[in-house]
Chains A and B, each alone.
Chain A
Amino acid sequence: MNEVYTFVNSVLLGTTPILWAALGCLFAHRAGIYQLGLEGLMLIGAFASIGGAVAFGSAWTGILLAMAVCVLVSVVFWFVVVILKANAIIAGLGLVGIGVGGTSFLQGAIFHTSGAVSARAIVGTPVSGTATGPLSVLSSLSLLVYLLPVAAFVVWVVARRTNFGLRVSASGQYPFAAKAAGVRVRLVQLGALCITGAMCAVGGSQLSVGSLHAFSYDMTSGVGYVAFTAVLFGREAPWGVVLASFIFGIATALGIFSQIHAIFGLPLEFIQMMPYIVTVLALWFAGWRWPQAGSAAEGAFAELRG
């Protein structure tokens, strides 16, 4: 039984950063912008929150700083992609490069180390790591995990039950109609991208101040791309995204689980590929089952039409 608890614990741990970023990316995607730079935003968020936590001695101040920085970066991304009509995919991949290289550079410039930067100030963990029994499911999980149901509900309300959410969808699906109806498409896209940036910052913070309590080079290792896939696989619906993120979280947890218990005697590296293989399979399923979803060629140039 204890193993089941541990497994559920690592599923929650693996899902949280994916889900925060995916819920944010939902808005960018619904607004018709391929935000492939989630990975970069998360890295920047992870670094900024550690930096803030070290500087101000409070993890929450660090997270706020991370959100501010990521919103700022998202505004620049919006300017380049929507105003200057740069290709969103290339700019997004560039954002990942900026995230990987920029945080590495700043790490050296500010903390004078190329190893890990750790912070003593961390996000609170309501259930301590020594908990036993069913409660151990939640052991050592940060408050950012507990906030997820709230975040998912708020995202659902905003996306599906508010005027803004409607404008976001209209801007993505029928930009010309939205424009004709008086929606300021570019501003709506700015709003959507800023929400994406802020939520990616939280997702990145969960990786650094929320669980590892440290920042290291390229620590996201593909979580951002997986989150992006969760949006495609969840068919841009809030609850679909939640479900998709949990599937990827389970795949991640299997990787962690198998480091302790050998599965079918497979080498460790093959188990660690699991999240990526599951992502490909999920995309394949989505493409097979819902043929319109998930083609880059269709969405990629949406920004040129808006």
Chain B
Amino acid sequence: MSWRNGLGSAGRSGVALLVGLALAAITFQAGGFSAGGTASGVVTGAVTGSGSLALTLRYALPLAFIAIGVVVSFRGGFFNAGAQGQFYAGGIVSLYVGLTLPTSLGGPIVAFLAVLAGAVAGMVWSVVPGMLRVYFNVNEVIGTLMFSFIAEYLVTYIAVGPLKSSAGAGQVAVTSSVPAAVRVTPASGISAGVVLGVLLVGAAVWWLLRRTRFGFEIALIGRNPIMAEVQGVETRQIGLATFAVTGFTAGLGGAIEILGPLGSISSGYDPNIGLTAILVALVGVLAVGGVLVAALVFGGLTAASLYLPIATGLPSTSLVFLTGLVSFVVTAKVGWGRWPHGLLRRARGGPDRHRDDELPVPGGTRPAGEEPPPPAPATSPGPVETSV
């Protein structure tokens, strides 16, 4: 049962991805860029070109970190949309720690402390809007997004202000670079440690979601928060904890990006990673394994988006367009996503008993059979009758 649902969701993600790619191809063709040339450019830029696979992996790593955390929030029904801000916070703080701690402590130790500090900073950047959400019912989408905008200005502040490099006289203000001993990866952005880190974080989150009481309670809240509350789940604490996990991994992503390939932050630095990470989580059907695959796909697209401007003149922001198109359709319920429910309903002759399947799952793409069955949601109409 579980594998069939999982397969169905994965198939649906694939279809959404294809629909997005097709729409983008049509647009590019209409805009005067040959779709065939673009497609072959994507393949060259992401897979077959020299060094392309390495670039794909390099861009997939931070995406995977962030998206694994996003999965935790989304499974609990919390729309943490501020991954970009948490990524920035992680990057800024890890840079600060990496620059201020003396390297005489030993490079790896400083690097470890800096990465840890970055992750904690990301966590703080996520938990504050999370607290506003659980204690004051503040819309978490807007809250986390606003924190992203604030972080964007912090990036500019840090680049032109306290950490500004005195060496450069270029157009764009940039901070000093982290010494090579403190970097977690070489300029290629890939190191065994970081790859191992992604796998470790992935395994930890998988274990958390599937094998612990915490994960079970997250799933309960995601299905029906009121029901969970009635059954004695501390919904506020659990909610806050999901924000903390998301922020922690997004901060990790920012830290390894800054302490890895980049080494410094320039004013106006915008990796456009927030929406992509959300999409990676959704296309990866909110499961850790799926997320790792989806991160590679979008890492490849990111790598291609850097190659395409050179190969075909297509602006690299076209990736944002593609990401938007896929997000637009990824949660749509069409084809085998919808028909079984209708058939089942008719077969039972009852009212809409499967409505609960569609309720508080962000994206509604979670494979339904993968967590323990909720205790009788069908008998509880839930909180849903009061709308804003």
Contact = CB atoms under 8 A, between A and B. Distances in A.
A80 B332 contact: yes
A40 interface: yes
A293 B137 CA distance: 8
Contacts of B132: 280, 283-284, 287
A87 B156 contact: no
B317 A101 contact: yes
A100 B32 contact: no
B266 interface: no
Given A90-B327, A102-B324, A280-B129, 4 more contacts: A93-B81, A94-B324, A276-B150, A287-B132
Contacts of A106: 31
Contacts of A217: 317
A75 B338 CA distance: 21
B345 interface: no
B149 A222 contact: yes
A279 B146 contact: yes
Nearest to A77: B328
Interface in A93-109: 93-102, 104-106, 108-109
Contacts of A276: 146-147, 149-150
Nearest to A228: B142
Contact of B27 (A77, A105, A279, A301): A105
A108 to B, nearest CB: 5
Given A269-B156, A298-B383, A98 B141 contact: no
A302 B278 contact: no
A302 B275 CA distance: 23
A84 B331 CA distance: 9
A87 B364 contact: yes
Contacts of B142: 225, 228-229, 232, 279, 283
Contact of B161 (A172, A225, A267): A267
Given A91-B331, A280-B147, A297 B360 contact: yes
Contact of B150 (A236, A273, A296): A273
A299 interface: yes
B138 A294 contact: yes
A295 B362 CA distance: 14
9 contacts: A32-B388, A90-B362, A95-B324, A99-B324, A100-B324, A105-B28, A269-B154, A273-B149, A283-B143
B321 A105 contact: yes
Given A84-B334, A279-B142, A299-B387, A104 B320 contact: yes
Given A98-B328, A270-B153, A305-B387, A295 B275 contact: no
Contacts of B171: none
Given A84-B333, A280-B132, A302 B359 contact: no
B112 interface: no
A36 B333 CA distance: 19
A237 interface: no
Contacts, number: 220
Contacts of B108: none
A288 B81 CA distance: 22
B321 A104 contact: yes
B37 interface: no
Contacts of A125: none
Interface residues on chain A, size class: 35 or more
B361 to A, nearest CB: 9
Taking chain B's interface residues, is the majority helix, strand, or loop, or is none over half, making it mixed? helix
B386 interface: yes
Contacts of A85: 332-333, 338, 358, 364
Contacts of A86: 328-333
A277 interface: yes
A296 B79 contact: yes
Contacts of B156: 269
Most buried by A among B326, B332, B338: B332
Contacts of B147: 276, 280
Interface string A147-188: 000000000000000000000000011110000000000000
A300 B330 CA distance: 16
Contacts of A94: 275, 323-330
A305 B384 contact: yes
A304 interface: yes
Nearest to B278: A93
B388 A292 contact: yes
Given A277-B150, A284-B138, A302-B388, A97 B383 contact: no
Contact of A101 (B161, B321, B330): B321
Contacts of B143: 280, 283
The 5 closest A-B pairs by CB, nearest first: A97-B324, A101-B321, A94-B327, A101-B320, A109-B31
Nearest to A222: B149
Contact of A267 (B140, B157, B319, B322): B157
Given A94-B327, A269-B154, A104 B317 contact: yes
A162 to B, nearest CB: 21
A272 interface: yes
A296 B139 contact: yes
A243 interface: no
A167 to B, nearest CB: 15
Given A94-B327, A294-B138, A105 B225 contact: no
